[in-house]
C-alpha cells in the first residue's frame, strides 16, 4: 500500500465525522426553524375574545395597529410573519370579525382573508324622526349618521321602491336585525324592503283589505297610535276609533299629528293656537289621514290596527288619573265631560303646555 493511499484512508474518518456533524447541525437548525414556523402558524396567539373592526379602505398597518392597541394578540411579530407568507397584506377585507381566545395566527388570517364577518345585532325602536334612526344605526354600523340620513332622505331611492318621501317610513319596521358592520345605507334600505315584504304576508294583506285600508294607511294609523298610548292592551280599541272616523269622513283630530307638524313631540298640552299650524299633517284642518307615518311604528302597533276592535266609539281622551289609559265615548257630550275632567287635572298639576 502506498503512503498516499494510506493517508487518504486515515483522513476519511475525520472527513466523515465533519460530514455527520454538518448533517446534525443542519437537522437541528431545520428542526428549530420548523418548530418556530409551526408555533407561528398554529400556536395559540389570540389573548382574548373580542371584535376586530377593519374600516373600509384600511391597510395592513392599520390592522396591526388595531390588534396592538386592543391587545388582541400575545405576539404581533409572529402574526406579521404569517400574514406576509399568506399574502394577507394584499388581501385586506373590511368588516367586523370575532376573534376567539386561543386562536392561532393561521386561523385568524384565514378568517380575515376570507371576509367571513360576524354579524352585529342592530336594534331600533321608539324612533320618531329620520335623524333619530340615522343616529341609532350609526351606533351599530360603520357608516356615519350623515350617510344614513342622506339615504333616508333620498327621494330617488324611495321612488325605486314605489314610495314617496312621505310614505317612505312605512318601509322601515323597527325590530332587532343582524347586519354586517360595513353594510352601506343603500344595502340597509334594500334589506328593509325584504323585511317589509316578509312582514306584509298574505294574512296581513287580507286583514288590511277587510278593513278597506291600504298598508300605508294601516302604518300611518299605527304611527299615531304609538304616540297616543304606550298601553298595548288598548291600542286595538283606539285604532277602531280612528278607523270609524276615517270611514265616516270626520277630521281625525289626532294631537300627535300636531306635534309632528310642529316638530316637537315634547308638547304636553296641545293648545288651541297650535291647531292652526299649516301642514298636511294637521288632522284638525285636513280630513282623513296625513300623507304618511309620523314615526316608525313597531309591529305591535301595526298589528293593533290590523286587529282593530269593531265598536261605535268616535272619541277618546286621556284619563284624568294620568294612568296612561283613555276614556272612550260614542257621543260628543260624553266626550266633553271626559275632556273636562282631564283638563281640570292638567290645571291642578300646573301643566300648561
Distance CA 243, CA 263 (A): 25
Instruction: Report residue 204's pLDDT band, with 50, 70 and 90 as the boundaries.
Output: very high
Residue 19, pLDDT score: 54
Looking at the fold, whether 110 and 224 belong to one and the same domain comes out as no
Burial of 205 (0-12, 13-18, 19+ CB in 10 A): middle
Looking at the fold, whether 227 and 310 belong to one and the same domain comes out as yes
Establish if 185 belongs to a structural domain: yes
Give me the chain's average pLDDT, please.
89
Which domain-ending residue is among 199, 231, 248? 199
Residue 7, pLDDT score: 52
Looking at the fold, whether 231 and 334 belong to one and the same domain comes out as yes
Non-local (6+) Cβ contacts of 146 within 8 A are 134
Looking at the fold, whether 102 and 175 belong to one and the same domain comes out as no
Residue 126, pLDDT score: 92
pLDDT in tens, 320-334: 888 889 999 999 999
Higher model confidence: residue 347 or residue 77? 77
Looking at the fold, whether 188 and 83 belong to one and the same domain comes out as no
Q: Collapsing DSSP states into helix, strand and coil, what is residue 44?
A: strand
Distance CA 173, CA 3 (A): 101
Instruction: Please identify which residue in the block is written with the cell numbers 334589506.
Output: 191
pLDDT at residue 23 tops 70: no
Q: Which stretches of 262-348 are assigned E, i.e. beta strand?
A: 315-318, 326-329
List residues bridging with 121 in a β-sheet.
178
pLDDT at residue 42 tops 80: no
Largest CA distance in the chain: 140
Distance CA 191, CA 177 (A): 10
Q: CA 269, 272, 274, 279: dihedral to nearest 10 degrees?
A: 130
Residue 346, pLDDT score: 83
Establish if 8 belongs to a structural domain: no
Residue 321: φ, ψ to 5°? -90, 0
Residue 6, pLDDT score: 52
pLDDT at residue 31 tops 70: no
Closest to 301 in 3D by CA, of 242, 248, 227, 204: 227
pLDDT at residue 80 tops 90: yes
Looking at the fold, whether 210 and 314 belong to one and the same domain comes out as yes
List residues bridging with 46 in a β-sheet.
73
- Please answer whether residues 41 and 106 qualify as being in contact, where contact means their C-beta atoms are separated by less than 8 angstroms: yes
Distance CA 45, CA 306 (A): 55
pTM: 0.83
Non-local (6+) Cβ contacts of 301 within 8 A are 222, 223, 225, 226, 235
Residue 239, pLDDT score: 97
Higher model confidence: residue 78 or residue 353? 78
Higher model confidence: residue 192 or residue 33? 192
Region of poorest pLDDT, from 66-75, 88-97, 265-274: 265-274
Specify the CATH number for the domain of residue 97. Answer: 3.30.1490.480
**Which range marks the domain in which residue 275 is found?**
202-348
pLDDT in tens, 174-197: 999 999 999 999 999 999 999 999
Establish if 296 belongs to a structural domain: yes
Looking at the fold, whether 273 and 215 belong to one and the same domain comes out as yes
pLDDT at residue 61 tops 60: yes
Higher model confidence: residue 127 or residue 271? 127
Which domain-ending residue is among 68, 97, 114? 114
Higher model confidence: residue 139 or residue 26? 139
From residue 7, alpha-carbon distances to 1, 15, 117, 274 in Å are 10, 12, 71, 119
Higher model confidence: residue 344 or residue 159? 159
Residue 270, pLDDT score: 80
Distance CA 163, CA 299 (A): 20
Looking at the fold, whether 251 and 329 belong to one and the same domain comes out as yes
Instruction: Report residue 272's pLDDT band, with 50, 70 and 90 as the boundaries.
Output: confident
Residue 4, pLDDT score: 54
Closest to 337 in 3D by CA, of 352, 312, 320, 314: 320
Q: Collapsing DSSP states into helix, strand and coil, what is residue 144?
A: coil
Which domain-ending residue is among 114, 145, 160? 114
Residue 30, pLDDT score: 44
Higher model confidence: residue 351 or residue 127? 127
C-alpha cell at 103: 386562536
Establish if 58 belongs to a structural domain: yes
Looking at the fold, whether 234 and 176 belong to one and the same domain comes out as no
Burial of 170 (0-12, 13-18, 19+ CB in 10 A): buried
Residue 275, pLDDT score: 86
Looking at the fold, whether 326 and 281 belong to one and the same domain comes out as yes
Closest to 8 in 3D by CA, of 334, 34, 141, 16: 16
Region of poorest pLDDT, from 160-169, 184-193, 269-278, 322-331: 269-278
pLDDT at residue 38 tops 90: no
Establish if 270 belongs to a structural domain: yes
Say which DSSP state 72 is in.
-
Distance CA 303, CA 107 (A): 46
pLDDT in tens, 232-265: 999 999 999 999 999 999 999 999 999 999 888 8
Establish if 274 belongs to a structural domain: yes
pLDDT in tens, 95-105: 999 999 999 99
Looking at the fold, whether 80 and 156 belong to one and the same domain comes out as no
Looking at the fold, whether 330 and 235 belong to one and the same domain comes out as yes
- Number of domains forming the structure of the chain: 3
Establish if 24 belongs to a structural domain: no
Percent of the chain with pLDDT over 90: 75
Establish if 229 belongs to a structural domain: yes
Residue 352: φ, ψ to 5°? -100, -25
Amino acid at each position: 500500500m502506498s503512503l498516499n493511499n494510506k493517508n487518504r484512508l486515515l483522513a476519511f474518518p475525520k472527513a466523515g465525522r465533519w460530514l455527520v456533524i454538518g448533517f446534525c447541525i443542519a437537522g437541528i437548525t431545520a428542526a428549530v426553524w420548523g418548530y418556530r414556523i409551526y408555533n407561528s402558524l398554529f400556536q395559540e396567539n389570540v389573548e382574548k375574545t373580542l371584535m376586530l373592526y377593519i374600516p373600509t379602505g384600511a391597510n395592513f398597518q392599520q390592522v396591526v395597529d388595531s390588534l396592538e392597541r386592543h391587545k388582541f394578540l400575545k405576539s404581533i411579530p409572529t402574526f406579521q410573519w404569517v400574514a406576509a407568507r399568506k399574502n394577507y397584506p394584499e388581501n385586506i377585507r373590511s368588516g367586523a370579525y370575532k376573534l376567539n381566545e386561543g386562536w392561532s395566527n393561521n386561523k385568524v388570517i384565514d378568517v380575515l382573508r376570507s371576509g367571513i364577518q360576524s354579524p352585529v345585532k342592530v336594534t331600533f325602536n321608539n324612533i320618531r324622526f329620520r335623524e333619530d334612526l340615522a343616529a341609532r344605526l350609526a351606533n351599530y354600523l360603520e357608516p356615519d349618521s350623515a350617510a344614513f340620513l342622506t339615504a333616508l332622505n333620498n327621494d330617488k331611492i324611495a321612488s325605486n321602491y314605489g314610495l314617496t318621501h312621505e310614505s317612505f317610513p312605512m318601509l322601515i319596521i323597527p325590530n332587532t336585525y343582524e347586519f354586517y358592520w360595513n353594510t352601506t345605507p343603500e344595502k340597509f334600505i334594500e334589506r328593509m324592503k325584504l323585511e317589509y315584504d316578509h312582514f306584509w304576508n298574505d294574512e296581513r294583506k287580507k286583514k288590511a283589505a277587510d278593513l278597506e285600508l291600504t298598508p300605508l294607511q294601516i302604518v300611518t294609523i299605527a304611527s299615531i297610535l304609538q304616540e297616543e298610548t304606550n298601553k298595548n292592551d288598548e291600542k286595538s280599541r283606539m285604532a277602531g276609533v280612528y278607523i270609524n272616523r276615517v270611514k265616516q269622513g270626520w277630521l281625525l283630530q289626532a294631537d300627535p299629528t300636531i306635534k309632528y307638524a310642529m316638530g316637537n313631540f315634547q308638547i304636553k298640552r296641545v293648545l288651541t293656537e297650535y291647531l292652526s299650524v299649516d301642514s298636511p299633517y294637521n288632522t284638525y284642518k285636513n280630513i282623513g289621514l296625513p300623507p304618511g307615518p309620523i314615526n316608525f311604528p313597531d309591529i305591535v302597533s301595526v298589528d293593533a290596527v290590523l286587529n282593530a276592535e269593531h265598536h261605535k266609539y268616535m272619541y277618546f281622551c286621556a284619563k284624568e288619573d294620568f294612568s296612561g289609559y283613555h276614556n272612550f265615548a260614542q257621543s260628543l257630550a260624553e266626550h266633553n265631560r271626559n275632556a273636562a275632567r282631564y283638563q281640570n287635572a292638567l290645571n291642578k298639576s300646573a301643566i300648561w303646555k
